[in-house]
Chain A
Amino acid sequence: MANNPATNPVAAASDHIALPPKHLRARPVERSALARIGSGVLLALAALLCFWLFVLPVIVVALSSVASHWSGTILPDGYSTRWFERLDSSDFDALVTSLEVGFGVAALGTALGLWLALALEGRDRRGLGAIADALAMVPNGVPSVVLGLAVLIAYHKAPVDLSSSAAIVVFVQLALVLPFCYRCAAAGLRPELTVLREAAASLGAPPAMVLRRVVLPQLVPAIRASLALGFAISLGELGATLTVYPPGFATVPIVVVGAVERGYYLPASALSLILLIVSLAALSLIAARAPRRRAG
């Protein structure tokens, strides 16, 4: 791609002295046939490695959930949907719990993230704002088990006792997704859109109206991304949830890990395939709407 430098003069920044060009080392790039075959093989190996490491696991989950038996063979013996039919009420309870907690966490996390981002806009570099910004991002750096244990210790007995309801699960996951939602909302508040807000305010719109008619419409992509991300993270969260969950409020990951530890691999696959499809559906919301400027 870079073999034709003559047509593309380089605008070097430091051309303070215009030296006469001396092409001492410039020569056409020559590559032997061996080198070309070698690089081709290397590329093929890299492609295979990528497929093997990253695509294969997804295929394996899908394949194993429809396998009638898979142990001691390369491919499953036969295919059936019996693992899906055999999912019992406790599995469906876990699925319902996961979905409810996921929706709750996504909605609350997005609202809190939006609130924080709006309050801290332009003030997150010094003073109180910097403290709040750092604290909102702290759960990113806290291991999930540690956060779960901390929430359990703080809220498992009076004065605030959440330990016998799903609220503690929502609470701990909310702390975990807060940094992601806050980041999403803060990334959506771009400076060029601030002008619109200030214009609306200067034209006499009350703050509530500015929020409803200007800010929220601007932030729709960020809100969608934040909802989807919060939902996906909540569905797959294991460490913190496992530490705090009260009996009867097991989520899908807890049930799956329990089944795996007892050796029931294929039912666990069926359940995790459902989990994966739900969270991929949520994430495809991001992909459909992702502002294509991730590179900066």
Chain B
Amino acid sequence: MSSLSTPDSAFPAAPLPGAEAHAAAVRRRERRAQWHIAFLLVFVLGPLVVYPLARLVLLSLSGTHGLSLQAYATFFGNPDSRGVIGTTLWILCLSAGLASVLGVAIAAILFFKPFPGARLVTRFLELFVAFPSFLVAFTLIFLYGSQGSVSIGLQRLFHLQAPPLDFLFGIGGVVLAEVVFYAPFVVRPTLAAFSLLDMRLIEAARSLGANNRMVAARVILPLAWPGIAAGTILCFLLTFNEFGILLVLGSAHLVTLPVAIYSSATVDLDLPTAAAGAVVMLAMSLSLYALYRRVNRRSHGGARNGK
């Protein structure tokens, strides 16, 4: 740390030269490691992460002369994007909430009552990481679009005049696609949390006469809670950051924050306005992310050996 106290001479005249030299070597190594980290910060993380985000914030705040909030006023004063934050948050809560409930339920069934083929489903859930989100939205068109399989099937089944389903290109389709795509992201951390449970506690509860509901509410949930919370917050974060589904299914009728940012950047070519929207979105998602890091660190109990 303090470079003055480090002896520069190689052979200090001390009663225990070995220990001195060793301490000096340790201190030198530590100082070199700190310089190494500083180098990485300046030459790797700086240009990759810090500089672009700093430029983004600066651009959103710069007016014709000096500091101004003009860009924010333009972005949120646009009649097309009025209430855009409300819409985005409403979609977020609806779809991430449903995805979390569904994901925890599926994980509970897969773990506590595995049905035939449960292993296959678990594998598919792991492969979902490789499935781009816009593809999910795209496959839903074949299934639930007004000319899709399910729609036509229902029409034939009930002898209807017209295909009954016409909700896909709007809030319904967006929520459905986000639930399908993000539920697996809750399933995996929840399964991991369940597999850390001490099964003896569950057996003990049962032997003391607890029924299923009591075991779930009084034993499993309190113990697996940190893992489930981390998975849920992650799901909210990923859903908030989603873009492909909103672009494919929602761009026509539904103005959401990412789509509004994208269109004012690439269609209107108005970078300062887009930057203003982006800064607002960045603040929201980074605070969600900070919450996730906090909860996740706690759920690993400080000792980070399970990562």
Please give the residue numbers on chain A whose beta carbons come within 8 Å of chain B beta carbons, in ascending order: 2-3, 5-6, 8, 10-12, 25-27, 29, 39, 43-44, 46-47, 49-51, 53-58, 60-61, 64, 70-75, 112, 115-116, 119-120, 123, 127-129, 131-132, 134-147, 149-155, 171, 174-175, 178, 183, 186-187, 191, 229, 232, 235-239, 242-243, 253, 256-257, 260-261, 265, 268-269, 272, 275-276, 279-280, 282-283, 287, 294-296
Contacts and interface: CB of A to CB of B under 8 A. Distances in A.
B223 interface: no
Contacts of B85: none
A127 B285 contact: no
Interface of B: 33-34, 36-38, 40-41, 44-45, 48-53, 55-56, 59, 105-106, 109-110, 113, 115-118, 121, 124-136, 138-143, 147, 149, 152-153, 156, 180, 183-184, 192, 195-196, 199-204, 206-209, 211, 237, 240-241, 243-244, 247-248, 251, 258, 261-262, 265-266, 271, 274-275, 278, 281-282, 285-286, 288-290, 292-293, 300, 305-307
Given A128-B37, A238-B243, A279-B130, A57 B56 contact: no
B301 to A, nearest CB: 10
A273 B118 CA distance: 25
B142 A128 contact: no
Chain A interface mostly: helix
Nearest to A62: B139
Contacts of A232: 129-130
A153 B55 contact: yes
Contacts of A138: 49, 53, 286, 289
A60 to B, nearest CB: 4
A53 B105 CA distance: 14
A142 B286 contact: yes
Contacts of B110: 50
B17 to A, nearest CB: 18
B49 A56 contact: no
B184 A54 contact: yes
22 contacts: A47-B121, A50-B106, A54-B184, A56-B143, A57-B180, A64-B139, A134-B293, A138-B286, A141-B292, A143-B278, A149-B265, A152-B271, A153-B56, A174-B48, A175-B49, A232-B129, A238-B134, A243-B266, A253-B132, A256-B138, A260-B141, A280-B127
A173 to B, nearest CB: 11
Contact of A265 (B109, B118, B142, B244): B142
B206 A149 contact: no
Contacts of A26: 207-209
B196 A295 contact: yes
Contacts of A6: 207
B203 A53 contact: no
B124 A236 contact: no
B34 A11 contact: no
B73 to A, nearest CB: 19
Nearest to B117: A47
B121 A115 contact: no
B49 A2 contact: no
Contact of B113 (A43, A50, A71, A141): A43
Contact of A132 (B41, B131, B153): B41
B106 A144 contact: no
B272 to A, nearest CB: 9
B84 to A, nearest CB: 13
B184 A149 contact: no
A73 B152 contact: yes
Contact of A143 (B59, B204, B258): B258
